[in-house]
């Protein structure tokens, strides 16, 4: 995994087709939507809601195009109700999911926060993922490097990362191998598609 934070390529597991791009890809790169009893479209990040799913690439532009072009109704073959600000809704839900997963990893003893603890974990080559707040000091963040062969997550805010560690704010964090590592990386990669533009700059709340 590289600094882009994308999960490793996996050939196993089911694939799904994006209704926007027409591309078939592993399901962890897409977002499932379900149709409620009233015909409302609902994000199904846990992929547990009943009925036939509608899949869209985890990408803000793809979601906005699906809404603008009426692709949900076309895929469902029936009239549907699409919530206003669907892309923002999905982004918010994905962020909460990533925060919760990091919190669980912390409780399982596989995540640390704080510059010195992260530096030590990296120095011992025990870290597999480096996480840094999008709104943290670039100078401070540049002092830590993504573990070799590992991954980088840099599109959660200091407030969001703080929630995962029970603090007001957190700038630096790291995850060790095992446990929820792969799930954190995959969900964070999906969040990146909704939050990051121009390749690097994270979308900031309220902008």
Secondary structure (3-state) at 27: helix
- For 24-81, the pLDDT digits (tens) are 999 889 999 999 988 999 999 999 999 889 999 999 999 999 999 999 999 999 999 9
Instruction: Determine the distance from the C-alpha atom of residue 14 to the mean position of all C-alpha atoms in its chain, rounded to a whole number.
Output: 19
Give yes or no for a contact between 47 and 70, defined as CB atoms under 8 angstroms apart: no
Question: What is the residue-wise DSSP string for 92-156?
Answer: HHHHHHHHHHHHHHHHTT-EEESHHHHHHHHHTT-EEEEEE-TTS-HHHHTTS-PPTT-EEE--S
Residue 108 pLDDT grade (very low, low, confident, very high; cuts 50, 70, 90) = very high
pLDDT at residue 51, as a whole number: 87
Instruction: Using the predicted structure, report yes or no on whether residue 5 has a pLDDT greater than 80.
Output: no
pLDDT at 9: 46
pLDDT tens digits, 133-156: 999 999 989 999 999 999 999 999
- Per residue in 116-126, pLDDT (tens digit) is 999 999 999 99
What is the pLDDT, as a whole number, of residue 21?
94
Helix axes 60-68, 181-195, angle to 10 degrees: 60
The overall average pLDDT reported for the chain is 89
pTM across the whole model? 0.86
4 compared with 191, residue with greater pLDDT: 191
Under a CB-based contact definition with an 8 Å cutoff, are residues 110 and 180 in contact? Answer: yes
Contacts for 17-23 with beta carbons within 8 Å, 24 or more apart?
17/55, 18/55, 18/56, 18/57, 18/62, 19/54, 19/55, 19/56, 19/66, 19/71, 19/72, 19/74, 19/75, 20/56, 20/57, 20/62, 20/63, 20/65, 20/66, 20/71, 21/57, 21/62, 23/57
């Amino acid at each position: 995994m590289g600094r882009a934070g994308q999960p490793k390529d996996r050939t196993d597991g089911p694939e799904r087709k994006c209704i926007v791009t027409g591309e078939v890809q592993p399901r962890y790169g897409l977002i499932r939507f379900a149709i409620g009893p009233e015909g409302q479209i609902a994000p199904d990040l846990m992929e547990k809601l009943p009925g036939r799913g509608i899949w869209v690439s985890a990408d803000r532009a793809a979601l906005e195009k699906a809404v603008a072009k009426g692709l949900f109704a076309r895929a469902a073959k029936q009239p549907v109700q699409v919530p206003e600000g669907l892309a923002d809704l999905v982004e918010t839900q994905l962020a909460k999911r990533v925060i919760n997963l990091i919190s669980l990893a912390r409780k399982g003893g596989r995540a640390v926060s704080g510059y010195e603890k992260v530096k030590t974990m990296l120095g011992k080559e025990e870290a597999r993922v480096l996480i840094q707040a999008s709104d943290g000091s670039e100078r401070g963040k540049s002092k830590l490097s993504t573990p070799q062969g590992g991954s980088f997550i840099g599109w959660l805010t200091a407030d969001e990362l703080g929630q995962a560690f029970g603090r007001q704010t957190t700038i630096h964090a790291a995850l060790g191998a095992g446990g929820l590592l792969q799930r954190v990386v995959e969900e964070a990669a999906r969040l990146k598609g909704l939050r990051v533009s121009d390749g690097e700059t994270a979308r900031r709340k309220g902008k």
